[in-house]
Structures are given as structure tokens and as C-alpha cells.
Structure 1
Amino acid sequence: MAANGASCEQRAGAKARQNGNAADAAARERRQKDKEGRLSLVLWKRPVTTLHYFLLETLVKLKELTLKLWRIRGTVLFFLAVCSVFSVTYYTEGTHQDYVRFLEKRFLWCAYWVGLGILSSVGLGTGLHTFLLYLGPHIASVTLAAYECGSTDFPEPPYPDQITCPQIPGSESITLWSIMSKVRLEACMWGAGTAIGELPPYFMARAARQSGTDPEDEDYEEFEEMLEQAEAAQDFVSRAKVGVQNMVQKVGFFGILACASIPNPLFDLAGITCGHFMVPFWTFFGATLIGKAIVKMHIQKLFVIITFSKHIVEQMVSLMGSVPRIGPSLQKPFSQYLEAQRNKLHHAGEGTPASENWLSWVFEKVVLVMVCYFVCSIVNSMAQSYAKRLQQQIHSEEKTKTK
């Protein structure tokens, strides 16, 4: 009898496991189907629905933001009071206005680069490549101007909006260090912005771990699967993800610093890992800030300065002429462009020479295309987020009816 009872229990357990496996398979299939449905929600496939969902998600986000601000209304009132004091100080005439204007100019300049840095890294891989579009060209312009003018003491104004050579030629020798010092503020502010942009994955994973529920993000689901299948990973990307996760988990502060100090497209995973394993905020953010705003930015800045040094640029232009067939046709516009830039440095206020229109036109169109893609990616992402809300609402209603 005991043996029969045990066999019945085993059969019941096996049947329960089969039912559980079938339920898990059905749930995975449903999640995959929902994911495919959300990913098809893009402007170039379903423009009307995408825009409609984008507007609805915007309203939801505004409502959530309003509720959060209402919960901390004391802090909001204090912030508004401080802003009022600064506003009165700003508009009141007096000898302090020189300091106010100087601080205003510095603050707006720093905020501009911090904002570009945030745009570059925020969004779990979806970002505007502001280094290639803004910071890199700015460093390159300062480098070319420093060698041409023989000085980095450009007159302010119009610098930094426009670079012109000083009327009195400088006697300083142009070195890598002097150029790096000239653009250090912009580069560090941009790097600090990229560090701030890495915080959403950290807070998302931390909140999920504290609440005991998975966050509503596909990257986190992939991270959970990676943790379960780490030993079986074979391809390069999977091994790289596992390497980042192991380095951050085992080495801690210095592992985060190492990941943040090099160009690393998988750094979002480091933020998710730190949040998942409850790494203290200042450990994560401190290492990220040092790595991105100091170490990595000096590496990138040094690379751009060396690339656009006067003798290297001239060598590159001369090498273009040696390319068969297309070399001379490429060499001519670049030579004209560099000559136009040199002339503009010595003749402030003149119009744009016609010889640089071709390259300027191409760069403007590249910037326009990248900005449009960035805006479209935001619209698509928010529309897919609202679609996920609807799917979760439907699934919760189905569970309620089943119970």
C-alpha cells in the first residue's frame, strides 16, 4: 500500500511538473508574441498608431511626474523659493551684475555640455551620438585654431561660439597639454553627463530587486537569461556580457571604473548588474563619474587632438592625393576647406567661403539625419512602452477573471 501511495505521489508530481512546464512554455510564447507585436510598433510601419500611443504615454508620464512632485512638494517649494531669490538677484541692478553675467555664461555653457552627454548615453543603448556631432568637432576646431593662431587665448566673445585668432599673436608654444587644458571644461562636463545618463539602468534594476518583481525592460530580461545561461555562453557578445558582469560583481569599484574608462557599448549591463546586486549608489556613480568624466574623456580628447594636429592633417590631405583615380578629387575640397578655415580664423565676421560649402552641407545633413533618427527612436520607444502597459493590463484582467 505504501509503495502504491508513493507511486501515486510520483505520478502526481510528474503530472504537475508537466503542467508547470506547459504553462511556462505558453507564458514564454505569449511574451515572445507580445514582444514582436511591440517591436512592430514603429513610425515607418504603423505611423498613426505609433503617434497615438506616443501621445498617450506622454500623458501618463506627465501624470506620474506630477504625482511625484506632489509627494515632495516641500522640496519643490524650497527649490522655487531659491529660484525666486536668484531671479531677484539677476534682475536687480548693481555692481554684482558682472559676477552674475559671468556665472550665467559659465552655468549655461556647462549645462549645455552636460545635457549633450546625457543625451548620448541615456536610453539603454538609444542615444544621440553627441561626441561625434558636437564635442569631437569642437575639440578639432580648437586644435586647428591653436596651431594656426599660435595661441589658445581666443578673444571672448566671440569664443566659444566662434573662434578667431587674437589680434596680438601669442608667444606660447602650442602643446598637447595646452590644447587639452583649453577644452577640459567642455570635455569633463560632457563626460559627467554621460555618467548621469547611466543611472536609469541602475535605478531600474535596484528597484526591481527591492520590490521582488522584474522591471518592465527587455534589457533586464536578457540580463536575467544571461545570468542563468552564463556558463553555456559561446558567442563573443555573450562572453563579453558575462565578462562585464563578473568584473563588476567580483572587483567592485575598480571593476566599474575599468568598464567606464574605455569605450564600452555594454556599460548599460554594468549599471543593471550593480543595481541587481545592490551595489551602493556612490560606489557605482563615483566610479562611473571618474571613469567617464576623467579617464575616458582624456583618452578620447587626446585621440582627437592628435588626429587633428596640424602636421598630421597636412599629411592626411597629401596622402589623399596618392589614392588612384579618386584621390585628387577628394584632396581638392579638403584642402580648400582647411584653407577657408584658416582664412576665417584671421578675418572675423566674414561670410562662409564658397569652397567650404560642400563639406559643410554634408556635415549638416549627417547631423540632421542623426537627430531625426534619435527623435524617431524616442517616439517609437514611448509608443512601445504604452503598448506594453496595455498588454500587462489585459493579462492582469485575464488572471483576475481566471481566479
Structure 2
Amino acid sequence: MAANGASLEKPQKRTGGKDRQNGSAPDASVRERRERDKEDRLSLVLWRRPITTLQYFLLETLIKLKELTLKLWHRRGTVVFFLVLCLFFYLAYSTEGTHQNYVQYLEGKFLWCAYWVGLGILSSVGLGTGLHTFLLYLGPHIASVTLAAYECGSTDFPEPPYPDQIVCPQGEGPGRQRLPLDNHVQGPAGGLHGAGTAIGELPPYFMARAARQSGADPDDEDYEEFEEMLEQAQTAQDFITRAKLGVQNMVQKVGFFGILACASIPNPLFDLAGITCGHFLVPFWTFFGATLIGKAIVKMHIQKLFVIITFSKHIVEQMVSLIGSVPRVGPALQKPFSQYLDAQRNKLHHAGEGTPAGENWLSWVFEKVVLVMVVYFVCSIVNSMAQSYSKRLQQQRHSEEKTK
């Protein structure tokens, strides 16, 4: 990998459609036209042009479905094998017998793993923006397990109902002070979520790699910005561009450990690392291996430890106490927090009982925040696909103008 990094130190620019449009670099008129096209695409959002956005979204969806159908037809052997496998599992699932215990066990484990891996993929693949599933799902799950461990004095929760519902094991109580913290840190949910985020980082890598090998211009705004950043590497002055260049240089020159370092910390610029690795043809397992280790092991353990420490019993009690000390509004704000914590403690000791979530405004607010974020995530997908179709129309129009 060191040899690869040394050989890639000089930026290798692809001779793509940008340079072919006017012999060398695009002139001012071409740049202005691109800026106008980009502004027109970015204005195509549901809250500005709802009818056109929905129309373009449906047309782009039909195009994507057609492309997917053609790909499946070309791989019909694999599709037939997959359908036969699904039929086998369906027969095993629907046929009565002693094997049903094993089938139900495997079904539960598979759905549990698929749930967290899927949430991890959604956090890094959003067709425009990611759904922050750590804040919405994994973080609250770790926090609830942490609070339950302090209340129950154990993490040996009966299964079932865990993980759907946490109930204290019989004979345990808050008197036991030694808590198996490793059980929190080494739980499968965090690792599966991290693996999902690593899988979600693959599309930018494959897109840039395919573009570099084929010499074609990809239909991707991030890749265009990446190429422009390489062209302006010597004259960049603003902080964001220099930060992007820092990520690009670290990944390009350090190789595996550079990718690992970028993946091991909360890094909003990590998409650039995937594009850089694809553009400079870094081997797949070098990129994915470093990303998987960084996100599923290093970064996830850091995040989990932060949540565990933040929601430890004494810190939560101090936070509630501090809320109550706020002048005038403190006691009013402290009351719902205290009621919520008391309700959660009651549920831990009495399965299926406790204060209904609707009686506490904290639960109501959290549910509405989750709903708003999911709606925004869906809207961002609609906007992104509509903008992608708009770009198709612009490219088609420009190609027709050239042929005239």
C-alpha cells in the first residue's frame, strides 16, 4: 500500500467530458452555463416547485426501475437461484414440524441483524442526505440499556421480551453495584450499525472507480466538485476546501491507515475519502477493510462509551437536578423529566406495565422529532431523484445543441 501511495502522490486528472468540451479547460461561458444549470436543479425541491418535482421524481423512478430490470435480466441465472432459495426458506417457514423452533430463532436473529445494518446503511446513504439513525435509534437504545443496567444491577435481561422490551431479571435489584460495562460496549447492535455505515460508503467509491476506468463523466455532483478541487489545489484559500484537501491528501498518501483515521472519527467529509480512493484506484479491500474497522469498531466504541458515560445514573440525576435549579422555569421543566425516569423504572420491574407514553410530553416530543426527521429524509430522496432527472434533461439538451 505504501508503494501505491507513493505512486499516486501526483494528482492524476482524468481526461473527461469537462476537458473535451473546449479542447482544454472549459471557458467562462461553459462555466456560467454549468452554474445556471446547477442553480436550476437545486431550485427543484418540493417546497418551491412541488408539481414539477413530483413529476420528475416519478419519471426518474421509472428510469431507475427500467435500468434495474435490465440488470436483473442480464443476471437472470443469479435471480433464479435467489428465487429458488427464497422458495426453500418459505417452505421451511410454512411447514409444520420440530424444525420450527430453529426457524423462528434464526428469523429473530436475522431480522435483528438486518434492522441495525439497514439503519447503518440509511445513515450514510440518503440520496442527498443521510438519516441520522445513531441519534434516532442506536443512541437511545444504548441509553435505555445503560439506565436499565444501573436500575437492575445487571444486563442479564430475560429474552424475550428483550430486546423489544427491557425487564429486570428476577432476584436482581439496584443493590448490586458491579455492572458488566463490557456487555454494553461489546453488544452486537453497535457493531452491526457500524458495519451498515461502512457498506453505505461504497457507492461513492464504486462510482469514482468506474468513472476513472471508463473515462466517462459520472452523473454525480460530488465527483464534479472533487475534480474541481483537484484543479484548484494550489490556490485554495477557504477553510472548507483546505479541509477537503487535507482528507484527500491523507487518504492518498497514507493509504490504509489514512482511511482508517478518517473513518474512526465523526467525519462529514468521509464521502470525499471514498471518491478519492475510487479515483486513484485504491484496492477495494484496502478501502472497505479500513472503513469497516474504523466505523464498526473504533468509531462505534467511542460513540457508545460517550453515551454510556453520559447516561450513567449519577450523571442523569445531576442533570435533572441542574434543570430544577434554573430560575422560574426550572421546577416546571424538572417535573416531566422526573416523571419520565420514574415511569421507565416502573416498567423495568413490571413487564407490560407503567405510565403510557402519551401521558408524558417528553415521549410525545421525541416521537414528533423522529417523525419530522423521517419526513425530511423522504423529501430529500424525492428532491434528489427529481434533480437527477433534471440533469438528464439538461445533458440531453446540450448534446442536441452540439449536433446542430
Per-residue Cα deviation, 1:222-266 (whole angstroms, up to 9, x for no partner): 111111112222222111101100010011111111100100000
Give the alignment of 1:1-400 within 5 angstroms.
24-123=27-126, 126-169=129-172, 173-181=178-186, 184-353=187-356, 357-400=360-403
* 3-state SS of paired residue (1:158): coil
* Identical aligned residues as a percent: 83
1: distance between equivalents of 2:218 and 2:25?
24
> 1:293: Cα distance to partner?
0.7
Of 43-52 and 338-347, the range deviating more from structure 2: 338-347
C-alpha separation in 2, matches of 1:252 and 1:70: 38
Secondary structure at the residue paired with 1:107? Answer: helix
Count of aligned pairs between the two proteins = 381
Q: What is the rounded CA distance, in whole Å, between the counterparts of 2:351 and 2:284 in structure 1?
A: 48
Q: For the residues of structure 1 that align with 2:236 and 2:250, how far apart are their CA atoms?
A: 16
CA contact (8 A) 1:333 1:356 kept: no
DSSP-derived class of the 1:378 partner:
helix
Q: Greater share of helix residues, 1 or 2?
A: 1
- Hey, what's the Cα distance between the residues in 2 that align with 1:199 and 1:337? 41
- Provide the secondary structure at the position in 2 that maps to 1:226: helix
User: Retained in 2: the 8 A contact 1:146–1:179?
Assistant: no
d(CA) in 1 for partners of 2:47, 2:122: 23
Is the 1:124–1:201 contact (alpha carbons within 8 Å) kept by the matching residues of 2? Answer: no
Distance 1:124 1:261, change over 3 A: farther
The residue type equivalent to 2:66 in the other structure is K
Taking structure 2 as the reference length, the TM-score comes to 0.90
Which structure would you say has the larger Rg?
1
CA distance in 1: counterparts of 2:184 and 2:207, whole angstroms: 39
Partner amino acid, structure 2, of 1:203: F
Cα 1:150–1:243 shift into 2, 3 Å: same
Counterpart Cα distance in 1 of 2:151 and 2:256: 43
Q: Name the residue aligned to 2:14.
A: none
CA distance in 2: counterparts of 1:375 and 1:106, whole angstroms: 28
- Letter in structure 2 aligned against 1:225: E
- For 1:319 and 1:393, how far apart are their aligned partners in 2? 61
Q: For each residue in 1:43-71, what CA deviation from the matched residue of structure 2 results, as whole angstroms up to 9, or x when unmatched? A: 00110000000000000000000000111
CA distance in 1, matches of 2:402, 2:254: 43
By relative contact order (CA 8 Å, sep 6+), the higher-ranking structure is: 2
Alpha-carbon displacement from aligned partner over 1:79-115 (angstroms, at most 9, x marks no partner) = 1122222222222333222121111100000001111
The whole-number CA distance in structure 1 between the counterparts of 2:338 and 2:242 is 45
SS across alignment from 1:234? coil
Instruction: List runs of 5+ in structure 2 lacking aligned partners.
Output: 1-21
Structure 1, unaligned runs of 5 or more: 1-18
Contact 1:188 1:293 in 2 (8 A): yes
The worse-fitting range, judged by mean Cα deviation, of 201-210 and 330-339 is 330-339
C-alpha change, 1:386 and 1:326, in structure 2 (3 Å) is same
Coordinate RMSD, CA, aligned: 1.8
Instruction: Give a deviation string over 1:347-386, Cα, whole Å, max 9, x none.
Output: 2212534795210011011101101110100000000000
| CA pair 129-22 structure 1, distance change in 2 beyond 3 A | closer
